[in-house]
Structure 1
Amino acid sequence: MVEKQTAGRDNLGDFALKFAELNDDVLFGQVWSREDKLSPRDRSFLIVTALISQGAFEQLKYHMTKAKENGITKEEISEMITQLAFYVGWPKAWSAFGIAKEIWK
C-alpha cells in the first residue's frame, strides 16, 4: 500500500499549490498506487533508472531510499548503475554510486 505523500504541499504548497497537488495527489496518489499494474519494486527500479539517466541527483536520494524499502538490494543497485554507465555516461554513474553507497551502507 502506498503511503500518503505530502512532500509537494510541505515544500511548495505556499508557492506552487497546483504543482504540489499534482505531485502529491496525481503522481504519488494515483499513479504510484496502481500496484496491480506495476509492483512498487519494479516502479522503483524504473524511476531510479530514469533519474540516473537524466542526472536528476537531487531527487535520486529519496527514490533510492524508496527503492531499498521496496526490496532493491545493494547488489542489484550496483549492477543497475554499472549497466547504465555504458548507456548514460560514466560521470552519472559515479554520481549515482555516491548516493547509493550512502543508502546501502
Structure 2
Amino acid sequence: MKMLLTVQFPLEPFNSHVRNGKAGEIIARILEDIKPETAYFTERDGKRGGVFVIDLQSASDVPRYAEPFFLNFDASCEFSILMSPEDLEGAGLEALGKKWG
C-alpha cells in the first residue's frame, strides 16, 4: 500500500549532525534502506522536514520506516494512505453515497 511518510526534524540533534558532518551520511543511509519512490526535503512548521512516498506491505513495516528517523534525529513521523485515481475510482463512492447520504 502506498503511503506518504512525512518527517519533521527537530533542530537538535540535526544541527549537531550538520556541524559534525554526519547529517548527509545518515540521511543517505536511511534513504538507501527505505528506498522511497520519491523523496523531497522541505520546511515543516519552521523546521527541517522530508516527504517520502513509500510502499508498505503490512502495518508491521511502519517501524522499519520510522525508527531510523526516530533514533538518528528524534524526528516525528506521520503516515498517510495514498490513493491513485484508479484506487479512488474503485472505492465505490456512488454506492456509499446512496447507502449513507
Larger RCO, structures 1/2 (Cα 8 Å, 6+ apart): 2
Largest Rg, 1 or 2: 2
TM exceeding 0.5: no
Normalising to structure 2: TM-score of the pair?
Answer: 0.30
Normalising to structure 1: TM-score of the pair?
Answer: 0.29
Give 1 or 2: higher helix fraction: 1
